[in-house]
Every structure is written in structure tokens, then in C-alpha cells.
Amino acid sequence: MADRQAQPRRGGRRAQISLDDILREGRRLGLAALTVNGVADALGVTPTALYRHVDGKLGLERLVGESVLAELVIEEDPDAGTAQYLLSLAQQVRLFALDRPGLAAYMQSLFPRDRSGLRLQREAIESLGRRGYSPEVAVMLSGTVAALGISITAAEERHRPYSEGPFRRELDHVYALMAGDEVMVAAQSALPVIDEATYFKLVMTAYIRGLLAVAPPGRPAADVLADLGGEHVT
């Protein structure tokens, strides 16, 4: 049974819990396992007691998720070019999220959700502004790069139980299936085996290069969108 800090009783009644109590237990559970019932049970109260402080599951997620995101500080090399900066941004977010299960899915669902996410987005716009980009193009570049990076990271997290957890037998089944297919064997034989970090870097580099080819510093957002097939976007 998980350790819990019992709330003291006064005059036979359980003391009121605070938002800090909820945040503490929410962070202890982690975003991947976060539920209203789980936090309430850890605090020794009913779920109704939590609803006085947070707006259900979404409010609880926002409270914990933004607290975690507040700790994410993107290290930036001021001499790095745009491509290097964007790749570093994506890689730093990936590593931070993988160390905190459930964070990638939280960011993927809606971003920014509150002040911590907004701070990260604003900092990215400012960083690209120093590299010659207008705010509207900067938010396009940083937003799309972050969205792809977070999606790959979320998929990597979902895949972990199959590569290093209880569902490994399913991955073994896939390997056996591919080994029995001549076309797949021929396709895979000339390819090197790469790890998740290398795969992430390869995909993000290709994506960033494609974006920057149509979005050099100073180019208007309308022209960038038109070049990418958004001629009818208004």
C-alpha cells in the first residue's frame, strides 16, 4: 500500500486539504497514473474534497502538468543557427518528457494549457526572433517542431513496454513475422540498427530542414503558408 500522509482530525472531523496537498500527492503519483480517486485515496479524503480545489480530472492534470513543466528550462546556445536551435529544443523536450512518464501525452493533448506552457512557447518565439523571425513565423516553426517532437516522444513512451517491459513477447512476434517475409527481409537488411535517440534526431532534422527551406528569416508568414500548400488559408 502506498505511503500516505494522514490528515489530522480536529474535533472528530478531518482537517481540510489544501491545493499544495493535492499537488504533492499528484506529483508523487505522476501524470501517467494520475486520477482524482488516486489522489483522494492518498490524502485520505473523498474525491468530492478535491473538487473544491480542482476542476475534475482535467483540472488535476493541469495543476500537476504545469508544475512539472515549470521545471523545464531550455538551454540555448546563442551562437547556434536556427536548425541547430530547433533540433536542440526538440531533443531537450524529449529527454525531459521521457524522464516524466505521462508528460508527453499531457503536452500532446493541448499546448499551452497554462502559464508554464505559455512561458515555454513565448521563450521559443523570442529565441527565433533573435534569429530574424517575425513572431507569427516563429510560432509556426517552434509550434510545428514541438508538436512533431512531442508526438514521437509520446509514441516512444507507449512503445517502451513492448521493448523492455511485460509485452516484449509482442515485439518478438513482430520480428518473427518480418523474418518470414522476403520483401521485408530485403528492405531491412541494408538498413542499420538505430536507437530511439538517433531515430528522433534523423526525423526531426529532416523535418526542420524542410521547414527552413521555405521559411528563411524575414519571409512573410503568408508566403510560407502558400509555399506549403496553404494558398486558401485566410
CATH number at residue 59: 1.10.10.60
Any bridge partners for residue 13, and if so which?
Answer: 10
Q: Which residues pair with 14 in a beta bridge?
A: 9
Mark whether 102 and 129 lie in a shared domain: yes
Among 69, 93, 112, the domain boundary falls at 69
Shared domain for 180 and 90, answered yes or no, is yes
Q: How many angstroms separate the Cα of 145 from the Cα of each of 73, 173, 175, 184?
A: 17, 33, 31, 31
Looking at the structure, do residues 38 and 150 belong to the same domain, yes or no?
no
Residue 92 sits in the same domain as residue 193:
yes
Other Cβ atoms within 10 Å of 226 Cβ, number: 14
Decide which of 72 and 181 is more confident. Answer: 72
Total-model pTM: 0.86
Do 212 and 163 share a structural domain?
Answer: yes
142 shares its domain with 28: no
Q: How confident is the model at residue 73 (pLDDT cuts 50, 70, 90)?
A: very high
Residues 105, 23 within the same domain: no
- For 21, the domain range is 9-69
Do residue 102 and residue 31 come from a single domain? no
The answer to whether position 148 is within a domain reads yes
Residues 13, 40 within the same domain: yes
User: Which carries the bigger pLDDT value, residue 159 or residue 3?
Assistant: 159
Please report whether residue 166 resides in a domain. yes
